[in-house]
Amino acid sequence: VNVWKALFGKEADKLEQANDDDKTYYIIEKEPLINAYISVPKENSTLNCAAFTGGIVEAILTHSGFPAKVTVHWHKGTTLMIKFDEAVIARDKTLDGR
């Protein structure tokens, strides 16, 4: 959350964990700041210019010792789907003593 706030000047609209998968989290941004400054031609109306933030988030997580794959989707706004590597979840469970 602190990284997001440093990049975009505010917290993300939502952070959720998937109900059926402990490796998957979602960052949901209804109106990404990046999209506010870009005009997209009508023929490219499905283009989401904020999608590159998925690469930024993936790089930050991976190089901070939390390997993950991040994909970006249109769902309730711009949704970053973060799937952590199994090793991250195993490490977390070990640290929690589960």
Q: Name 31's Cβ contacts closer than 8 Å, sequence gap at least 6.
A: 77
Residue matched to tokens 């939390």: 66
Task: Categorize the per-residue pLDDT at 80 as very low, low, confident or very high, splitting at 50, 70 and 90.
Answer: very high
pLDDT tops 60 at residue 1: no
Per-residue pLDDT reduced to its tens digit, 59-69: 999 999 999 99
Long-range pairs for 65-71: beta carbons < 8 A, 24 or more residues apart:
none
Where is pLDDT greater, at 45 or 23?
23
Q: Name 58's Cβ contacts closer than 8 Å, sequence gap at least 6.
A: 68, 69, 70, 82
Burial of 90: CB neighbours in 10 Å, binned 0-12, 13-18, 19+: exposed
pLDDT of residue 47: 81
Topology of the domain comprising 2-96:
Muramoyl-pentapeptide Carboxypeptidase; domain 2 (3.30.1380)
Ranges of each domain in the chain? 2-96
Per-residue pLDDT reduced to its tens digit, 5-16: 999 999 999 999
pLDDT tops 90 at residue 84: yes
Instruction: State how far the Cα of 41 lies from the Cα of 64, in Å rounded to an integer.
Output: 37
